[in-house]
A and B are shown apart, each in its own frame.
Chain A
Amino acid sequence: MAELCGIVGIGQTKLAAKRVDVSMPGLVREAADRALLDAGLGWADIDAVVVGKAPDTFEGCMLPELYLADSLGAPGKPLLRVHTAGSVGGSTAIVAASLIQAGIHDRVLTVAYEKQSESNAMWGLTISAPFGVAVVAGAGGFFAPLVRGYIRRSGAPADVGIRVAVKDRLNALKNPYAHLHLKDISHEMVEQSPMLWDPIRLLEACPSSDGACAMVLAREDLAQRAPTPPAWIHATAMRSEPTMFAGRDAINPEAGKMAARDLYAKAGITNPRREIDCAEIYVPFSWFEPMWMENLGFAEEGAGWRMTLEGATALDGDLPVNMSGGVLSSNPIGASGMLRFAEAAMQVRKQAGEHQIEGARRALGHAYGGGSQYFSMWIVGSEKP
């Protein structure tokens, strides 16, 4: 039987286009300091540090985990780095949790970050290797055909993506940490924004952000003594699959469906839409909300877009999705997965401020990465599982 693990501290930086006022160590430290403050703990209380970020080619910082050791109080402690592309923030938190659940450590600090202003994700993702052809299109160019495929398969109305883009930006106005605060956001504004990768418009895509997120995880008895009641981890799941293989369904990937089934089974959930109070999921391009609603089993295949259209995923819907404003409002890539996991935990700890869902007792945090090929997710609750 695994040890119970609670989230006792959560911290994030202001997410912004450029944080030239801090070094990379200074950025991660800002989030870590806030997580420790929230937990009422000091550096000596931490037994191990688990850090995650996107590929080293983004900022050109080789072995960032070693470069960041001093700023994360890691000298003399185990320091691990996790890497699973865009889902890394989620899988980093899961690796950190597993160190508690396995009974190896008592308290673990986990941190994820990206400094996109000192990086070039487009370049980092499209390195041309000898004898191959580089697809110089970045993430948007890769995902646009999948979105088009989804629209054709599901018969969704053309404006579902626009509705998601507006909803998430309205939510972001309630989140002081969010990068984008578009006060005049409207259906027309999104519709008239430039078409970047047909059918994805500029305002249906995430911004490029600097930022970090950190959490302190603790063993059951220590978590119980936290100054703010912890979020208890009910279940975690990770799955992966190759980017391409014959017969792959990249629109509704099997790895995501497997991870969700595993997650619900571990959490004892049979009807996720009814039993989960809110979900913070990785939606870097608006159409991924309906796509992941299906992949995560909240809707039947082909019906995810109806949830968006009917307002089920709005803050006052029956399954609020991306209460923080989501990836569409802030995308420090390496940190984005952890921000989703942290938002789920903040909701069940009643720490979400203006975007708090009343009575949220069980929340889902979700991240995906690569070519929709890495999935990480957790369910956290205000009560012990």
Chain B
Amino acid sequence: MAENEETEQSLHATHVLEYPFRRSLGPILEKFFTGLAERRFIGSRADDGRVLVPPAEFDPVTAARLGEDRLIEVGPAGIVTTWTWVGKPTAKHPLDRPFAWALILLDGADAPFLHAVDAGGESAMRTGLRVQPRWVEVPQGSIRDVCWFEKED
């Protein structure tokens, strides 16, 4: 206890480190993000036949370069493979009401990816739930073009 008090009183300062970095996406990931701007999900077929979303530039098993001929459209609906419930969202969360973080396997894909699910309530959330994306009004080529996923119509 005494030690903690001493730490509190010692001289300290905040160190903020920020810089507006840039990234070039290259020919493959560029297709994924331009796809989102058209409300489409683009994946790629790996050497072992699996469809990965987002698409991989290089095969995770054989290390081969996966070209544009491997790109394939998937979704837009999919199925929840596992999830966790966020009962008290903070300001940084995509929803202001309780929601789930879920791994979603889009139709036609073999690997799931993470996104939010607005299920309405924890009791309505389950593995195996069919979900569809809710898009922002004007998609711009960002993962945030998908507001969240919700129960399929």
Contact = CB atoms under 8 A, between A and B. Distances in A.
Contacts of A351: none
A98 interface: no
Given A29-B58, A70-B60, A131-B13, A59 B24 contact: no
Contacts of B14: 130
B18 to A, nearest CB: 9
A119 B63 contact: no
Given A29-B65, A123-B19, A130 B58 contact: no
A256 to B, nearest CB: 31
Contact of A23 (B15, B29, B64): B29
B26 interface: yes
B17 interface: yes
A214 to B, nearest CB: 14
Given A57-B17, A129-B15, A131-B13, A22 B24 contact: yes
Tell me which of B17, B19, B61 has the highest count of chain A C-beta atoms within 10 A of its own C-beta.
B19
A21 interface: yes
A123 B65 CA distance: 34
A119 B19 CA distance: 9
Given A25-B58, A70-B63, A75-B60, A59 B29 contact: no
Nearest to B59: A70
Contacts of B13: 130-131
Given A70-B58, A131-B13, A118 B24 contact: yes
Tell me which of B13, B23, B56, B59 has the highest count of chain A C-beta atoms within 10 A of its own C-beta.
B23
Contact of A127 (B17, B56, B65): B17
A25 B21 contact: no
A70 B21 contact: no
Which size bracket describes the interface of B in this complex?
20 to 34
Nearest to B61: A75
A120 B19 contact: yes
Interface string B4-27: 000000001111010101111111
A70 B54 CA distance: 14
A353 interface: no
A118 B21 contact: yes
Secondary structure at the B interface, as helix, strand, loop or mixed, is loop
B87 to A, nearest CB: 30
Nearest to B25: A23
A118 B25 CA distance: 11
A365 interface: no
B150 interface: no
Interface string A96-132: 0000000000000000000101111001100101110
B73 interface: no
A73 interface: yes
Interface string A151-170: 00000000000000000000
A73 B26 CA distance: 18
A333 to B, nearest CB: 16
Contact of B23 (A23, A33, A43): A23
Contacts of A117: 22
B123 interface: no
Given A21-B26, A43-B62, A26 B17 contact: no
A43 B59 CA distance: 11
Interface string B45-74: 000000000001111111111000000000
A71 interface: yes
Contacts of A129: 15
A20 interface: yes
A194 interface: no
A123 B20 CA distance: 11
Contact of B57 (A26, A59, A123, A130): A26
Contacts of A71: 57-58
Given A119-B21, A120-B19, A123-B19, A22 B60 contact: no
Contact of A60 (B19, B29, B57): B19
Nearest to B30: A23
A60 B21 CA distance: 6
Tell me which of B56, B57, B63, B64 has the highest count of chain A C-beta atoms within 10 A of its own C-beta.
B63
Contacts of A70: 56-60, 63
Interface in A123-157: 123-124, 127, 129-131
9 contacts: A21-B26, A22-B26, A23-B26, A29-B65, A43-B63, A70-B59, A71-B58, A120-B19, A130-B13
Interface of A: 19-26, 29, 33, 43, 57, 59-60, 70-73, 75, 115, 117-120, 123-124, 127, 129-131
User: Lowest 9 A-B CB distances belong to which pairs?
Assistant: A73-B63, A23-B26, A130-B13, A60-B21, A43-B63, A26-B26, A70-B58, A118-B22, A20-B24
Given A19-B24, A26-B27, 13 more contacts: A21-B24, A23-B24, A23-B25, A23-B26, A24-B23, A24-B24, A26-B26, A43-B64, A59-B21, A70-B63, A75-B61, A130-B12, A130-B15
